[in-house]
Structure 1
Amino acid sequence: MTPFDVNSGDTAWILTSAALVLLMTPGLALFYGGMVRRKAVLNMMMMSFAALAIVSVLWVLYGYSMAFGDDLGGGLLGNPVQHLGLTDLLADDGAALPTLAFAGFQAVFAVITVALISGAIADRAKFSTWLIFVAIWATVVYFPIAHWVFDFDAEGHVGGWIANRLAALDFAGGTAVHINAGAAALALALVLGQRHDWRSAEMRPHNMPLVMLGAGLLWFGWFGFNAGSALTAGHTAAFAWVNTLAAGGAATLGWLITERIRDHRFSSLGAASGIVAGLVAITPAANSVDPIGAILLGLISGVVCCLAIGLKFRFGYDDSLDVVGVHLIGGIVGTLLIGLFASPASPAGVAGLLYGGGFDQLWRQAVGAGVVLVVSFAVTYGIGWALQRTIGFRATPEHEQAGIDTVWHREEAYDLAN
């Protein structure tokens, strides 16, 4: 075996993309941290960094194996001991793209998915219980669903049911990442209930520059998220890169226009939220819609998500940082619109309804999105309920009012006395 067996260009691209996606979690910490009140910013950021630490370890131990091991039956779960500790991947396997590089790339997807959930329960969760929740949820929910969506059949290998039997398109995680995290966020918001002063106190972001910086880092990292999912440094990666740029920009405009009509303003929080909404929506569709389709998808997601964040006030669930309105709704929009806007000229080569493909792809997208939503919500609700009833998940009213930074971390974000 020679060094030339490995495609160094593709390998470099995947490792670079993995680093970009890893950066998204600190970016999310800044994004979420700036959006909460000053007394909870460190806790909010620590929830993301805790997810990074825990999921990284679990992925190496058995998470990769559960997601990408040989299917145990029905396309539901990979063999959890097949790649235990990744020890069988340490030797050069002779592949053009080393399997270990792919395992590292997928690890950071798992991390950011878990971290996204934390925004729905800001200001009111016990940090110790969050650590336990992260380990359980990654194991019981994310790893199996990643197998469903991301594990494709290969010679001598059987993968997940959504990717192969249903044949729903999800290029980089509209279902496995965003619908999954958004449904889980809704479940936890319902389990923990409303913050004690949710209806009465102003809960404005305490630091908008942090929010804008976090949104910029997320957009930067998202090019690795989407373009890296091509797994080669070629045409498909370039296609996804351009679509990611176009959709993010279009969604920002859609959100700001909606905000201007409704609220008579253009807010920086709206711009940051619009960026994320568009990136969420293009994630599943980055290789299946053309750039014009990406612009339309972005505009639609920006408008729809801007309107959707108000649903929490109508229905009474306290989704602190709009994880449901942006990630669940944005993920649904992007996943379903593949069934309309998918272009046969795209790398995916699938025709949606508007390109003469009929309803075939649309129903597949709807089934994939619906099943992930229902399973993630139901299982997460059960996990959250069990933790709340046993060790407690919700912080006490006294701790919440005092500020969970000082209660759980014995620190303050801004020591103004020194």
Structure 2
Amino acid sequence: MPYEVQGVVARGKGKPVTLETIHVPDPGPGEAVVNVQACGVCHTDLHYREGGINDDFPFLLGHEAAGVVEAVGAGVTDVAPGDYVILNWRAVCGECRACLRGRPWYCFNTHNATQKMTLADGTVLSPALGIGAFVEKTLVASGQCTKVDPAARPAVAGLLGCGVMAGLGAAINTGGVTRGDSVAVIGCGGVGDAAILGSSVAGAGTIIAVDVDDQKLEWARGFGATHTVNSRTTDPVEAIRELTGGNGADVVIEAVGRPETYKQAFYARDLAGTVVLVGVPTPEMQLELPLLDVFGRGGSLKSSWYGDCLPSRDFPMLIGLYLQGRLNLEGFVSETISIDQVEDAFAKMERGEVLRSVVEFPAAAV
């Protein structure tokens, strides 16, 4: 029997979200229905509400989620009912040229559930990042479910589903941060702080946090930043160079997604250093750099998609580090809220009052 549940919907650009009845079909071949236990309120969800992703309204929001598999469709062998999972939005296909080259984190044919969730009147919903998890139950492709240790609290585990994984992976996977490196992170929201945490876990010696908000810089210290720079009052390029012996950082991670801050990252790196863009720009943004500088400084300019993660590899490993007390994922959870408080959480996010508000469903309360 199909499921009838409550979920958070964005019906139009800039309109407040609403709590509505959602129809979730039984899982078909290759699909799974998951009982959502917790879901983080990510800036990407706000982008969807504001029409910054596309205009396929109405959207079923939410995507940073953990929960328990309720049912699976025909042919599903990778997960089973009762499995505790983190949802991911890049279920690799295993067949495209990236997968066949042994680089599945670059999969060019990731997939989602084939069937659609709908409103009570039959209107088809667009699930955020192919997940849609501000809802009691959601339908996903089975490959979007990654089994992890059930000892991990859902409110914490779910954050690996998007922003925290993006930042950790930008440092560890894309940037290749290693022992003794100097790292600068520009933009200290959830993604930037995760990049700082990832750099710290990887053994970076100097970790410089850059932001315009002193509160965010203080949070960054809690994740391992050794130095902070308020770029509202201090030239961040000069400050980063000064803190790295006049050279610039080995790895600079741009977690804002703007041309101005990308240029700062470009010029704040050491010769032959690496710039990683993990902040998401908007379609109209343009970047202009002297080509001679691109050539003359050498090194690497990289973009990080979802932290270049492979969920089946990275999620269990990172949850293991968290359960060992070696990865401060708890620090990202500013508050837990109920499903009817998502609009308020967006306002807090815009005011910079929280790193993550996390929706907890009653069955997940601990």
Q: TM bucket by the smaller chain?
A: under 0.3
TM-score between both structures, scaled by the size of structure 2:
0.27
TM-score between both structures, scaled by the size of structure 1:
0.24
- Give the helix-richer structure, 1 or 2: 1
- Give the strand-richer structure, 1 or 2: 2
The higher relative CO (CA closer than 8 Å, separation ≥ 6) is in 1
